[in-house]
Amino acid sequence: MVLHQNTFRSKLNNRPPQANKPKTMDKNSDKKQILLDKRYLRMASIWAENSYCERRQVGALLVKDKMIISDGYNGTPSGFENHCEDEDQKTKAYVLHAEANAITKVAKSNNSSEEATLYVTTSPCMECSKLIIQAGITRVVYDEKYRKAEGLHILERAGIELIHLPLKS
């Protein structure tokens, strides 16, 4: 029986052909990259502790050329009260997600998010995924899967490399 190579690839990793760059890394540098990815992701999860949100704390880091160029966690806009939830414990409509905060923070800086990697503790929602695509981010590494997968689907469609690295494993 001949198993086609694609049989081993999950649906989410099945990227359009133009996104498949030639593999230049050997096994050791692959391993090194996974270790680096895990460390940055752990840093993002520590960064999430800054969030005042009670329902869920999310942290994000933007890394380019082994440099952290931005960071974010979910919260209200600058100058607003810190509380994310209203009296009914519902998240306020103006709360920004960690990814949106990281991307808008880099927009204020002299750095560019073009070809950066986004590390985020929860997989991006649809709204953040649109920003990720337009910001030129090319890799997204995440820990937990958000209950709605539509964000991941749109990122996959844009040819962005998606890496699910559960920190608990």
The catalytic residue positions are 99
Q: Which of 147, 135, 143 is CA-nearest to residue 163?
A: 143
Q: Which of 125, 155 has the CB closer to Zn ion?
A: 125
Comparison of 61 and 125: residue with beta carbon closer to Zn ion: 125
Q: Give min distance, CB of 69 to Zn ion, in A.
A: 19
Distance CA 74, CA 92 (A): 11
Q: Which CB sits closer to Zn ion, 36 or 139?
A: 139
Q: How far is the CB of 39 from Zn ion (least distance, A)?
A: 23
**Cβ(60)–Cβ(84) under 8 Å?**
no
For 66, residues 6+ apart whose C-beta sits below 8 A from its C-beta are 36
Smallest distance, Å, CB 33 to Zn ion? 25
For residues 89 and 53, give the distance between their C-alpha atoms in angstroms, rounded to a whole number.
Answer: 10
Q: In the complex with Zn ion, which residue's Cβ is closer, 3 or 48?
A: 48
Are 100 and 71 in contact by the 8 Å Cβ rule? The answer is no
Two tokens, residue 95: 């709360």
Which tokens belong to 25? 């890394």
Which stretches of the chain bind Zn ion, using CB under 5 A? 97, 125, 128
Q: Decide if 93 contacts 116 (C-beta within 8 A).
A: no
